[in-house]
Amino acid sequence: MEKKTIAVIGMGCAACAANVERRLNQLDGIHLATVNYASRTALVEFDPKSISPQQMKEEIVKIGYDLAIDEEQSVLEIEKSSYRQLLKRVLTSWLFAILVMSISMKWIRVDYANQVMLIIALANLVYCGKPFFVNAWKLLTHGMTNMDTLVAMSTGVSFLFSTFNTFWGEQFWGSRGISWNTYFDASVMIITFVLTGKLMEERAKKGTASAIRALMGLAPKTARLATGEEVPISTLQKGDVIEVKAGEKIPVDGTITQGAEPTIDESMITGEPIPAFKNIGEKVFAGTIMKQGSLQFRAEQIGKDTMLANIIRMVQEAQGSKAPVQRVVDKVAMIFVPSVLAISVVTFLLWWMIGGEAQLPHAVLSAVSVLVIACPCAMGLATPTALMVGIGKAAQKNILIKDATALENIRNINALIIDKTGTLTIPNMDLTVSGTKDVELEQRETLKPHAREAMTSLQEQGIDVYMMSGDQENAVAYWAQKAGIKHWHSKVMPQDKEDLVRKLQAEGRKVAMVGDGINDTQALAAADVSIAMGKGTDIAMDVAQVTLMGTDLRRIPDAIACSKKTVGTIRQNLFWAFIYNIICIPLAAGLPYLFGADWQITPMWASALMAFSSVSVVLNSLRLKLVD
């Protein structure tokens, strides 16, 4: 199986993401696909022997969307192009809206006002509203619906009803003594407000992806070969010898072959603020910064194989994954649009039955308002935007979270098992003496900086900490006391660590395991949340859901705090997204009017409120960036 993150083009709401995800999962050869509306990406696990990205693209195009499978075309370029096109439509639609409103409100007096507004509204539908109608039709042919369906139906009904009134209003309504109007302004303003809301969403969502863009910006675009030639980084080959001077960034991963007292700032990988002195034969990593001296190194990992590229890929996949709560929202989104269509039809029929022909214009407007106000954008953005900001914020603190499930689960842990050597302490590789006295124990290894502070913080939060080690009892007891850990076990085997995880889970505890070695992988795999140290073995990091880059164990309580704040924001977003629809749909349907009030939410205001709800959810998620 191969795993790939692919940009999805053309999604406008949660139902869109659900449609693309459902279609991808229906294709032979795809094991699992998850689509993230906020990041506009699909994380696809597939068998390349059975299906290719090109075949996926062809299937998705059929239902009105597209996949950016061209490796040379970055997601950033696609976003910029889409944003420019959207901006043109917004500006044009506002021009049409101002003209129609000026005529409708009689700020500008023209002959044949209704006919002039008809022409302007038609131009707006054809140019600015075309994507809504095209996408809605494509989806309809496949038995699917989304926000475009609601917009196309509401603007279409408003336009057709107004066109009918323009030519036959007096003949049909006037002859019956019923007052009539045209609603071309509503048709135009619905599209204008929806497009404006999407534009504001896109601007706000750029902030949710700022962390991944910052990571992408760490790698330089060019590299200097040892011959002095400056070349694009994409042309580098394994084995090339590259020169780097003070103030420059390391372009790819490799091994130092020559150096003049080089010190490198590796804080973006290790989290350590002090630059590291490097010797010949040591590794250097893409994106790190040469602080002093100069060096030459042989390129070994290039392109997608560098550590920086792997970190970016891990963060992207985590941001594109789904928290358990999001799966519930997706199920709601799948039935939400058809339900809204049904409510709209019922609204129309009820008003018609209550008031007869005299209430027919009111029935049409109420039905249109329901279609507009119930767009599920806010619902679709509630979870993924918060996850993108939360996971990005964690990455900035050198906490790499593998998926949304891990982020949601970290906040629930009440027991933590931690390995000693290499995780809690730094071993002295120069000494092999097994001492029994405390001077001798101090020489064998060193407690990591801030380790006691981290363990104290965890225990103050009500989390029981257990230290496990294969070391001798006196050594384990000594380091447990130094770290402030009350529970410890010595002379343990890998199976013993897993057994403790299972025992605590059987007691109803939510268990996190922290380790760095192969002997920790059994327990890491069994734990509710698995945490690996960034300088540990590859197998430990592969198994772990969370990787702490560097040696600072304070990142563990930081990860718990990030989880609590992110999940809290998700709950706030979902509350407002659902309460918005619960309150606004009855108002749009004309419930106040039924009880004697002389007002209701018109289609124009419905579109403005819908846009506001989506933007407010994104802005609430962005508040996470301000939290330390």
Residues 549, 553: Cα–Cα separation, whole Å: 10
Residues 47, 24: Cα–Cα separation, whole Å: 13
Residues 233, 252: Cα–Cα separation, whole Å: 8
Paired residues of 290 in beta bridges: 264
Name the residue among 420, 422, 454, 620 with its Cα closest to residue 535.
422
Paired residues of 448 in beta bridges: none
Cβ atoms of 399 and 550 within 8 Å: the answer is no
Residues 483, 466: Cα–Cα separation, whole Å: 11
Q: Is 137 left (phi over 0), alpha (psi -120 to 50) or beta?
A: alpha
419 in active site: yes
> How many CB atoms lie under 10 A from the CB of residue 341?
18
Cβ atoms of 131 and 175 within 8 Å: the answer is no
The residue from 403, 419, 516, 520 that is catalytic is: 419
- Tokens 């030459």 correspond to 296
Using DSSP bridges, classify how beta strands 546-548 and 529-533 pair: parallel, antiparallel or unpaired: parallel
Residues 597, 261: Cα–Cα separation, whole Å: 81
Cβ atoms of 290 and 304 within 8 Å: the answer is no
Residues 382, 389: Cα–Cα separation, whole Å: 12
- Tokens read off for 327: 């799966």
Residues 322, 334: Cα–Cα separation, whole Å: 16
Alpha helices in 109-146 (DSSP H): 113-127, 130-141
Residues 239, 299: Cα–Cα separation, whole Å: 5
Dihedral sign, Cα of residue 269, residue 275, residue 279, residue 280: positive
Q: Which H/E stretch holds residue 232?
A: strand 230-232
Residues classed as catalytic:
419
